[in-house]
Structure 1
Amino acid sequence: MSTQTATARVRVNAKEPFVARPKPSTPAHVIRDDAEAIAVARRLAAQFREESALRDREGWLPLDEVDVYSQSGLWAINVPKAYGGAGVSYATLAEVVKIISAADSSIAQVTQNHYVLVAHIDLDGTPEQKRELFELVLKGYRFGNAFSELNSRNVAAFETKVTDLGDTVEVNGEKFYTTGALLAHIVPIVAVNDAGEGFLVFADREAPGLTVINDWSSFGQRTTASGSVKIDKVQVAKSRVVPIKAFDTPTAAGAISQIIQAAIDAGIADGAIADTIEFVRTRSRPWIDSGKERAGEDPFTIAAIGRLAITQHATDALLARAGQLIDAALVTPNEDTVSQATIATAEAKVLSTENSIEATNKLFELAGTRATLAVYNLDRHWRNARVHTLHDPVRWKFFHVGNYYLNQVNPPRHPWN
């Protein structure tokens, strides 16, 4: 149960600058292995599930929940063992994200870019940067993101500029879709120099000139601490500037980003299927033509639940396979291993997208009209699935998967693939 009082609640879409959250006053717990990560995720999921429908309906940001989440140590599970982290398998990381997402997909998405940034630091950072930034992550510091831009010609066209000033850099621009930035302690900004080279600039959340605005207004994933970021002459030490090189050569960077996306969608489906089963068992009425006493005895309902469960188990298997291939690509990065990981992750992304939308839609068909009542807020599952699955179009996944198997064409390398 959240400890926030009614007066302490903060609603989304306030359209005003958001005050930075306090930095951790005590170090976060350090998770040691995969099994502990799964156990902690399950414990937190039970806690986050309690008010997930209420937070979504009222538009309350999960302030206390995110603090508990990052202090649990789960935000540091992909910090490499060499730097003090658990260095868990990406199959485990996907399972952790799915477990949290099934309880509250907005909270799961708050960590989405944080995990990606930890991976990028490992791939592109210097040893000194890894030591500094991973130490902060292990203490419980949260990375938000300032990646995407609302008005650029496509998702990879960045207009935010970084200028070298000697010991520091200066960043200017404006970002949107900044998931997690409202509640972050550090806001990594994607910016380009005059030569078009990309950099991650790890700006302190309280840096002068950095303004995070609470103006996220989507109908789904409402409480993801997203919004817009205004960057006006923000100066950052050069030690906090990491060049983006992970896509210049074969690395698992893109697959890592995508498996987290797929895991969130799989979690949404898990949550929707569980709520469907519970509602049919306890509240739904059998259809008159079935001749049954209970809705759960309707043969068509039984078959539909069976289909959803089978597809969800297939999604789980593809996520685990993708995670294992990402692990292999990290150990031995080359065109073959990275392409295998990318394609396997794309397959998981397709199935997680399709089943999350199907499961959240079938919920109402199987549970009946009373399931649409506002008191239950079950439509949050469909809204969340519909919004989150828009991150990148799965129609292109079909193409890249088919082109790989039919024509031996390796998929392109970028964060959306």
Structure 2
Amino acid sequence: MDTSVLGALVPAYVWPEPLRQRIDTLYEVIDRVVAQGAAEADRVGRYPVATINALKACGLMAAAIPTTHGGWGLTQAQSQEVLFRLAIADPSVAQICKVHDDLVRELFTFADDATCHRLGQDIVSRCLIIGQAIAEPGARADEFGHVIATPVQGGHSLSGRKIYATGAIGADLIAVTSYDAACHAMRFDLIPRDAPGLTIQEDWNAMGQRATDSGTVILDHVRTIPGLVVPKENQSPPDWASLRYQNGFSVILVGIGVAALRHAADFVSSQARPWISVQGQRASDDPMTRRLFGEIGAELAGAVALVRDAANRLDLRAAGAISRAQVAMAVYAARSVASRVSLRASSDSMASMGARGAGRAIGFDRYWRDARTLSLHDPVDWKHEEIGHHLLTGWQPEASLYR
């Protein structure tokens, strides 16, 4: 199996021998199914059911589940390496799987042992995938409380509206947060996709990440199910959770950049014509093209190193070996570089392809549309401000949704 992504620029990720067979099978599915279906998934702009089913069949939904509950037991760094390979193939599929991975890790962090055991067994045996309905249309991105949980006999009734519900439309279970006014506390419930009163509107119409199908979710007196309530042993996720979310987006952005540069390289080598000033018969003989690819390739290699380092620091933080600030600054730096190089790779590399590269049948534009859309998730300039704040004053960011 070829595990290189940018030739000798980026070293292949080394997997532990006990995981090799599973990873080989997974990467085969990524290359054969995910990558091959990406252009059509972007064109249609709907949830990629067949692709997700193929990933379910090779066991990916169990990757983040501890081995004690029958899962693969991947570390956070290992999960994000899988995310990287998915992003190269199809960044929309990567984002759907990222949501599942993050949610599974959250569940196994704060749920009680009985809940973890039950969910672990269900996910492993039934290949369940979890989507999310978390964000709400408040005046601020971090404003919640618009979905209300009302106590009723045997549980709670949930009513309200969620937006940007990535993965919800094709999920088996949807993670829903709500505000319990009676207890003055947030709830976390898993709701079956076909629950009465739950409607997912197919209104996602962004220019990129189209197959995430991240539409609006309407909850109209949706009843919680006792077996799917997630009791929290504490009210807060681990302080590195938001950093994992952020680095996952950076990983996907770098994957988009790698895919764009590889596509451009294939096109230049096989279809582009050399400019009249080139002393050679092929477009790849053009020294300006070589320089452009060299610059973008070097920047991508640096970005891969940064996101991998940040992912490793997540595991070190989980083990208590480093401070949160040491993770945060690595994550922020990775986001800065990943955002910039993904946009450059998906845009500037077209200069080497010539006018032929702009043909609709080539489909190169989807890389930039995906990168630009994903890069808007949280403003990269605030990462620069936070890095600068740290360097100038020693400031250390406290845990919050986007910090």
CA distance in 2, matches of 1:360, 1:155: 28
CA distance in 2 between partners of 1:330 and 1:246 (Å): 16
Equivalence for 1:260: 248
- Pick one of 288, 312, 325 that aligns with 1:324: 312
Matched, 1:306 2:294: yes
Query: 1:1-59, CA deviations, whole angstroms, 9 ceiling, x for partnerless residues?
Result: xxxxxxxxxxxxxxxxxxxxxxxxxxxxxx99554454234212212212322332243
Task: Please report how far the alpha carbon of residue 375 of structure 1 lies from its aligned counterpart in structure 2 after TM superposition.
Answer: 0.8
1:346 Cα deviation (Å)? 1.9
Q: Is 1:69 aligned to residue 55 of structure 2?
A: yes
**CA–CA distance in structure 2, aligned partners of residues 353 and 33 of structure 1:** 34
Report how far residue 382 of structure 1 moved: 0.5
Do 1:102 and 1:270's aligned partners in 2 also have CA atoms closer than 8 Å?
A: yes
Aligned partner (choices 170, 177, 182) of residue 190 of structure 1 = 177
* Counterpart selection for 1:204 from 168, 175, 192: 192
Q: Is 1:114 aligned to residue 100 of structure 2? A: yes
Q: Aligned with 2:164: secondary structure?
A: coil
Give the superposition deviation at 1:386. Answer: 0.5
Structure 2 counterpart of 1:44, which letter? V
2:282 to 294, 312, 322: 294
Is the Cα–Cα contact under 8 Å of residues 133 and 217 in structure 2 kept in the other structure?
yes
Counterpart Cα distance in 1 of 2:367 and 2:131: 24
* Shift, 1:239, TM fit: 4.5
Deviates more, 1:186-195 or 1:239-248: 239-248
Structure 2 gap ranges (5+)? 1-15
Instruction: Determine the structure 2 residue equivalent to 1:399.
Output: 385
Query: 1:169 corresponds to which residue?
Result: 156
Q: What value does the CA root-mean-square deviation take over the aligned residues?
A: 2.2
Query: Aligned equivalents of 2:21 and 2:308: distance in 1?
Result: 17
- In structure 2, the residue matched to 1:18 is none
Which has the higher mean CA deviation after the structures are superposed, 86-95 or 390-399?
A: 86-95
Partner Cα separation in structure 1 for residue 344 and residue 90 of structure 2: 18
Q: Sequence identity, in percent?
A: 27
Task: Say which is worse superposed, 261-270 or 131-140, in terms of deviation.
Answer: 131-140
State which of 43, 53, 58 in structure 1 corresponds to 2:28: 43
- 1:148-175 deviation line (CA, Å, top 9, x unaligned): 12x3111211211122336312111111
Who is 1:28 aligned against? none
Give 1:356 deviation, angstroms.
0.7
Q: Is the 8 A contact 2:110 2:237 kept in 1?
A: no
Closer, same or farther in 2 for the Cα pair 1:172/1:144, shift >3 Å? same
* Cα distance in 1 between the residues matched to 2:184 and 2:353: 53
Counterpart residue number, 1:100: 86
Query: How many equivalent pairs are there?
Result: 384
AA aligned opposite 1:143:
I
Query: Of 129, 135, 143, which residue of structure 2 is paired with 1:142?
Result: 129
Paired with 2:310 and 2:22, the residues of 1 have a C-alpha distance of 19
Question: SS at the partner of 2:55?
Answer: helix
Match of 1:4 in 2: none
Q: TM-score, normalised by structure 2?
A: 0.89
- Matched residue of 1:111: which SS? helix
SS in 2 for 1:79: coil
The question of 1:241 aligning with 2:229 is answered yes
CA distance in 2, matches of 1:126, 1:354: 41
| Residue-by-residue CA offset, 1:153-212 (whole Å, 9 max, x unaligned) | 112112111223363121111111111111100011121222653222111111111111
